[in-house]
Amino acid sequence: MFSYSSIDAYHALLLAGQVSCRQVVEHYLQAICAKKHLNAFVDVYAEEALQKADELDLQRRQGKPIKSLHGVVVALKDVIAYNKHRLTAASKILKNFHSIYSATVVKKLLQEEVIIIGNCNCDEFAMGSTNENSFYGPVLNAAAETCVPGGSSGGSAVAVQAGLCMISLGSDTGGSVRQPADFCGIVGLKPTYGRISRHGLVAFASSFDSIGLFAKNVHDIAKVLSVIAGPDEFDSTVSQKNVEDYTKTPISNKKFRFAYFQETLQHPVLDSEISSSLQLTIKNLMHDGHTIEPAHFEYLDYIVPAYYVLTTAEASSNLARYDGVRFGYRTEESVDDLTEFYTTNRSEGFGKEVKRRIMLGSFVLSTGYYDAYFTKAQQVRRLVVEKIESVFKNYDFILMPTAPSTAFMLGKKITDPVAVYLSDIFTVTANLTGCPAISLPLFKHSNGLPFGLQLLANRFNELSLLQVSKQLLQHS
């Protein structure tokens, strides 16, 4: 039976003829079938994946050299466009929408010979932290099936966690890769804003959205990032900076400078066991010869409100296109005029959380409230950016929890959206500032569930972030 550990080990097996891509795809299709109740996938491309596997097997037999992601079985979050495949953002409003082009990330992955096995369930339009806001129903956490997997990229996280693919892509606007990675006990990276093209990513809040990666180890993430990062003529916000080889081996025993914010570790929302595990890690890092010092983050309690004002404002504008004319679901009710047509399409097509955000976003942008909310939140964002930049003048990384608690029971917070919003307190800083951040599966709680540690680095410092992550995971 095939058992996956890393891309490199898998390639060694393929090249030694010990396994074929077809066998591997069959293995994953069986696993997806056996774990169907987890609800991680929206669509599974079984026939296509097998066909691609046969093509790759033939190429290898003919002696063609393999590309860096040859035969790697990948799943996409249902917000990433793949030509001629369904793209629904887990929303009724896009129920029957098929993409007419592929996202830049998808093209880059295919050039390196991946096998795309399906698209994954998520919160509708990537809005949420539990995956309970999906048109397709919730995803179950494979570590405890009565618990949420986190969100919004819950399906992508569970697909990796439960061994239903090797690598998956998600999107992270305020924590949607790192928090489900934390809840599922896997690695989740949100790269620098602008490191990866957003062309073909369904827009939620365009100045925050980043495509992110899930894997079981850091080296796999580094390999995939090296492929999907970089300039793109279809996204003017993407950086022109050269893409480094993110797999480069770190200088062994390199010593780093870490900062941590007292306010995060002492925050009343933080589970005390998570806090003490992080404090122990701080001691261990010090003991290993790293510099690790406390710093202050006086804006901690302002970042969630600022994030929700700005992202809902951007979302209300981005989602205006789903009106049943240009895009989206059309009502079957008979309507009298165009306004009623739009209203009915949108009322029937969007779920509750998306509607809540569109209304909030329209409110904070409305005349009379614009300065009090939108302008104010932008000012907070600027202060947070300046603060974090000042910290990175003296430190390489900022250490934080990823989430205030471990995964909780399905349904527990569904009626309290504000409580769910507040649980984004440790993840939104990286999105407000555009910094890269990673969640590393280092711990297990006494309740039996995994949780992670989050590290933030300065913009475009993915290489050192991945290198230190490898060190931390090796020593754990």
Which residues of this chain interact with ligand GLN, rule CB under 6 A?
A: 126-129, 152, 171-176, 204, 311, 424
| Least distance (Å) between residue 122 CB and ligand GLN | 8
Please identify, using beta-carbon distances, which residue of 267 and 444 lies nearer to ligand GLN.
267
| Least distance (Å) between residue 250 CB and ligand GLN | 29
Q: Which two tokens stand for residue 458?
A: 């300065």
Q: Are 314 and 381 in contact (CB under 8 A)?
A: no
Please indicate whether residue 152 is annotated as part of the active site: yes
Tell me: cis bond preceding 152? Omega within 30 of 0 counts. yes
Looking up tokens 């490898």 gives 470
Which CA distances in Å does 386 have to 52, 263, 371, 447?
A: 48, 18, 21, 38
Please identify, using beta-carbon distances, which residue of 24 and 147 lies nearer to ligand GLN.
147
Select which of 20, 129, 152, 277 is catalytic.
Answer: 152
Which CA distances in Å does 112 have to 72, 223, 350?
A: 9, 11, 36
| Side chain identity, residue 265 | L
Handedness of CA 471, 472, 475, 476 (dihedral sign): negative
| Least distance (Å) between residue 272 CB and ligand GLN | 23
The length of the chain, given as a count of residues: 476
Please identify, using beta-carbon distances, which residue of 127 and 466 lies nearer to ligand GLN.
127
Which residue number is nearest to ligand GLN in terms of Cβ?
Answer: 176
Please give the backbone phi and psi of residue 169, each rounded to the nearest 5 degrees, phi first: -110, 145
| Least distance (Å) between residue 377 CB and ligand GLN | 14
CA–CA distance, 437 with 172 (Å, rounded to integer) = 10
Among 174, 173, 178, 180, residue whose Cα is nearest residue 151:
180
Helix (H, G, I), strand (E, B) or coil at 94: helix
Among 282, 300, 301, residue whose Cα is nearest residue 291:
282
| Least distance (Å) between residue 353 CB and ligand GLN | 8
Please identify, using beta-carbon distances, which residue of 106 and 201 lies nearer to ligand GLN.
201
Please identify, using beta-carbon distances, which residue of 27 and 412 lies nearer to ligand GLN.
412
Looking up tokens 């618990």 gives 147
Please give the backbone phi and psi of residue 294, each rounded to the nearest 5 degrees, phi first: -75, 150
Please indicate whether residue 176 is annotated as part of the active site: yes
| Side chain identity, residue 272 | S
Helix (H, G, I), strand (E, B) or coil at 359: helix
Please identify, using beta-carbon distances, which residue of 197 and 471 lies nearer to ligand GLN.
197
Please give the backbone phi and psi of residue 88, each rounded to the nearest 5 degrees, phi first: -125, -10
| Least distance (Å) between residue 102 CB and ligand GLN | 21
Q: Which two tokens stand for residue 363?
A: 């409110």
**CB contact set of 58 (below 8 Å; sequence gap of 6+):** none
Please indicate whether residue 317 is annotated as part of the active site: no
| Least distance (Å) between residue 128 CB and ligand GLN | 5
Select which of 77, 108, 216, 470 is catalytic.
Answer: 77
Among 40, 9, 44, residue whose Cα is nearest residue 26:
44
Among 173, 127, 132, residue whose Cα is nearest residue 39:
132
Please identify, using beta-carbon distances, which residue of 132 and 462 lies nearer to ligand GLN.
132
Handedness of CA 4, 5, 7, 11 (dihedral sign): negative
| Least distance (Å) between residue 11 CB and ligand GLN | 32
Select which of 20, 134, 176, 197 is catalytic.
Answer: 176
Please identify, using beta-carbon distances, which residue of 239 and 311 lies nearer to ligand GLN.
311
**The pairing of beta strand 257-261 with beta strand 187-190:** unpaired
**Active-site residue list:** 77, 152, 176
